[in-house]
């Protein structure tokens, strides 16, 4: 009984240690995807800023030729400044996400020095054995070990009670034989 209980306690601790690793892996994955989203957002705002700059160049030419009024040029300049602000914000967001990822993996990451692989490969899940995954989950669940330990304790208590009743029945039988 004590050996089974100790084994279950050990397995529970192993599971807890594995759970810390799984949580760490999850946090790194989330931080990585946040970097990817921030990088794509930065790319989008950079393209928008480049387009706004081209629009501004065209608007300046049209204004110089007298085709567009000053008000139109001011609107285009305002749109360009807005796109610059959005780009700076997206750049700051990417830096923050890179910093968060670096914290998760224990490395200082810099968007200038460190290039993050942004390709996503979709794994082939057709070969996964879902029943095996379910079985592994159940075997490695801390609830499983807690319940197994409770069951073993119950079975041991039942064994002790049954032993006492057997002794009682034997004594009762001896007494009735002597009467």
3-state DSSP of 43-93: HHHHHHHHHHHHHHHHHHHHHHCCCCCHHHHHHHHHHHHHHHHHHHHHHHH
Number of Cα atoms under 13 Å in the Cβ half of residue 106: 2
Total domains, the chain = 1
Q: Largest Cα–Cα distance of the chain, in whole Å? A: 130
- Per the listing, tokens 């807005």 go with 82
Q: Which domain does 106 fall in, by range? A: 25-120
Report the C-alpha gap between 104 and 92 in whole angstroms: 19
**For position 123, what pLDDT does the model report?**
66
Residues 31-52, mean pLDDT to the nearest whole number: 95
Report the C-alpha gap between 74 and 104 in whole angstroms: 45
The answer on pLDDT for 34 being more than 60 is yes
Looking at per-residue pLDDT, the higher value among 101 and 22 belongs to 101
The answer on pLDDT for 93 being more than 90 is yes
Q: Which of 135-139, 159-163, 169-173 has the highest mean pLDDT?
A: 159-163
Position 79 in a domain: yes
Position 161 in a domain: no
Position 91 in a domain: yes
Position 64 in a domain: yes
Position 68 in a domain: yes
Q: Which of 43-47, 147-151, 160-164 has the highest mean pLDDT?
A: 43-47
Report the C-alpha gap between 156 and 146 in whole angstroms: 15
**Mean pLDDT of the residues in the chain:** 83
- Cα–Cα nearest to 99, from 115, 88, 110: 110
**For position 1, what pLDDT does the model report?**
56
Q: pTM here?
A: 0.60
């Amino acid at each position: 009984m004590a050996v089974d209980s100790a084994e279950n306690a050990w397995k529970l601790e192993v599971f807890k240690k594995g759970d810390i690793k799984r949580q760490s892996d999850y946090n790194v994955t989330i931080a990585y995807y946040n970097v990817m989203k921030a990088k794509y957002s930065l790319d989008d705002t950079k393209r928008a800023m480049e387009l706004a700059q081209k629009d501004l160049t065209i608007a300046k030419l049209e204004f110089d030729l007298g085709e567009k009024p000053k008000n139109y040029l001011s609107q285009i300049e305002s749109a360009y400044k807005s796109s610059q602000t959005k780009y700076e914000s997206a750049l700051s967001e990417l830096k923050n996400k890179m910093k968060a990822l670096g914290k998760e993996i224990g490395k200082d990451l810099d968007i200038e020095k460190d290039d993050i692989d942004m390709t996503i490969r979709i794994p082939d899940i057709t070969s996964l054995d879902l029943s095996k995954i379910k079985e592994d989950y159940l075997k490695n669940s801390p609830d499983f070990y807690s319940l197994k330990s409770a069951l073993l304790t119950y079975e041991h208590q039942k064994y002790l009670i049954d032993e006492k009743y057997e002794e009682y029945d034997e004594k009762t039988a001896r007494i009735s034989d002597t009467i």
